[in-house]
Structure 1
C-alpha cells in the first residue's frame, strides 16, 4: 500500500510537506502542492482513514444503532438522519451487534444515535461518562452528553384507545411489542391508564415482536376465540398488517366483525381496503431531529430534550358498534 513516505521520496520533499499538501495547508506553495498531488494520483495513493482519525480524533462519521433493519419503518427514519448529517459534512453508518459498540471508544465514529433496546443503558452511561456524545430515541437517560429525542408514545396509545372506546368498543385486544422495547412499555402504560377510566372495557393482551409474523399469530388466536365483534390495537403497523391479512383470508369482515388500529402510519396502510386506522407522526422528522441534536452535542452546544408528537388517522378498519 502506498504511503505518504513513498510520495515524499518520489517528490524529494519531507513527509510533513506531503502531509501539508494533501490536507490543503497553506504552508506549502501552490506549485509544490500541485506537484505532490500529481505524484499521489500517479501512485494511486489512498489516505489511511484510521490513521487520520487517530491523529485528529474526528472521523466525520455518525453511527446509528438499530435493533434490526426489517420492515417499512426504518427507511424514512434513516433518510431524515442522513439528509441532516450529510448537510453538516457527516456520513452515516448503520450498526447492529455488540462488536460495533466498540466503535465509539475506538473513535471510529464521532457520536451515536441509539434506537436499539439490546444496547444496555448502563453501557451507554459508561460511554457518556467518558465524553462520548449520544442521542437516544428509545429510553430516558439523564446525562450532559446524552440527549433524548423521544416519540410521544403515551399520547399516541391514548388516542388509539379513546378512539376505539368512542366508537363503542368494549372488548379489546392489544398486540404488544417485544418485552424489552421502551416504546411498547410506554404505549402499554397509557393503554392501561385509559382503559382504567372505563369500568366496562375488557382487554386481552397478546405478546408480539413488532413484526408481521406476530400479527399473523395474534389473528389466529383471535379467530379461535371469536364470539362477537372485537377491536384490536396493534402497537405497530407491521403487526397490524399481518393481522389484517390473516383475518381477511379467513373471511372476517374488517371494520364489522374485527376492528383494527395500528401505530406508525407506514406507507402500506394507505393501500389497505378498508383503510387501516393508525397513529401518525413524521419518521423523517424524528430522524432529522435526532441528527440535529447530536451535531449540536458534538459542537458543545446546549440542547434540550425533544419530543415528537403524534396524530390519529381515522380509518374504515374501525367502525361503530
Structure 2
C-alpha cells in the first residue's frame, strides 16, 4: 500500500508537505498541491482511515445500536437518523450484539444512539465517564454525556386504555412487551394506573414479545376464556396484527367480539380491516431528533433531553360495548 512517505520520496519533498497538500492546508502553494495530488492519484494512494482518525480524533460515523432488526418498526426510525446525520456530514452504521459494543470503546464511532437492552446501564455510564457521547431511546440515565430522547409512552398507553373505557368496555386485557423492555414497562405502568382510576373493571395481563406470534398466542387465550366482548390493548401494533391473524378462521370478529388498540401506527395498520385504532407518532422524527441531539452533544452545543409526543388514532377495531 502506498504511503505519504512513498509520495514524498517520489517527488523529493518532505512528508509534512505531502500531508499538508492532501489535507488542503494553505501552507503549500497551489502548484505544489497540484503536483502532489496528481502523484497520489497516479500511485493509487488511499488515505489510512485509522491514522486519520487518531490524528483528528473523529470518524464522522455514528452507531445506532438495536436489539433486533425484526418487525416493521425500525425502517422509518433509522431513515430519520440517516437523513439528519447526512445533512450534518455524518454517516450511520447499524450495530447489534454485544461484540459490537467495543466499536464505541475503541473509538470507531463519534457517538452512539441506543435502542438495545443488551447495553446495560452500568456499561453506558462507563462509556459516558470516558467522554463517549450517547443518546438513549430506551431508558433514563443521568450523565452530562448522555441525552434522553424518549417516547411519551405513558401518555400513549393512557390514551389507549381510556379510549376502551370510554367505549363502555368493562373487561380489558393488556398484551405486554418483552421482559426488560423500557417501553413496555412504561406503557404497562400507565395501563395499570388508568385501570385503578376507573375501577371496578375486569382486567388481565398477557405476556407478549412485541411480535405477531405473541399476539396470536394472546388471542387464542382470550378466545379460550371468552364470555363476552373484551377490550384488548396490545402494547405494539405487531402483536395487534397477530390478534387479527389468529381470529381470521374463527367465528370471532375484531370490533364485535374483541375490540383492539395497538401502539406505533406502523404502515400496515392503515390497510387492515377493520382499521386498527392505534397510538401514533413519527418514527422518522424520533430518529431525526435523536441524531440532532447527539451531534449537538458531540459538538458541545447544548444538547437537551427531548420527548416525542404521541396521539391516538381511533379506528373501527373498537366499537361501543
TM-score tier after normalising by the smaller chain length: over 0.9
Aligned to 1:119: 119
Contact 2:216 2:243 in 1 (8 A): yes
Deviation digits for residues 214-245 of structure 1 (CA, Å, limit 9, x no counterpart): 11211222222222111111100111111111
Q: Determine the structure 2 residue equivalent to 1:9.
A: 9
Q: What is the deviation of 1:25?
A: 1.0
CA–CA separation in structure 1 for the residues paired with 2:120 and 2:312: 32
What is aligned with 2:317? 317
Measured on the aligned residues, the alpha-carbon RMSD in Å equals: 1.1
Give the structure-1-normalised TM-score. Answer: 0.97
1:260-275 pair list within 5 angstroms: 260-275=260-275
Conserved 8 A contact 2:114-2:137? yes
Aligned to 2:158: 158
Q: Could you tell me how far 1:11 is from its partner in structure 2?
A: 2.3
| Partner SS state of residue 253, structure 1 | coil
| 1-structure distance, mates of 2:203, 2:82 | 40
d(CA) in 1 for partners of 2:228, 2:248: 16
In structure 1, the residue matched to 2:183 is 183
In 1, Cα distance between the equivalents of 2:75 and 2:251?
Answer: 32
Q: 2:263 is paired with a residue of what secondary structure?
A: coil
Q: How many residues align?
A: 321
Per the TM alignment, residue 48 of structure 1 is displaced from its structure 2 partner at its CA by: 1.4
**3-state SS of the aligned residue for 1:104?**
helix
- Check conservation: 1:248, 1:254, Cα contact below 8 A: no
Aligned residue for 2:259, secondary structure, equals: strand
Superposed displacement of residue 266, structure 1: 0.6
Listed as ranges, the gaps of 5+ residues in structure 1 are none
Q: Following TM superposition, where does structure 1 have runs of at least 4 consecutive aligned residues deviating by more than 6 angstroms? A: none
Per-residue CA deviation, residues 131-166 of structure 1 (Å, 9 max, x unaligned), is 111111110011111111110000000000000000
Q: Any conservation in 1 of the 2:128–2:145 contact (CA below 8 Å)?
A: yes
Partner residue, 1:215: 215
TM-score scaled by length of structure 2: 0.97
Structure 1 residue aligned with 2:242? 242
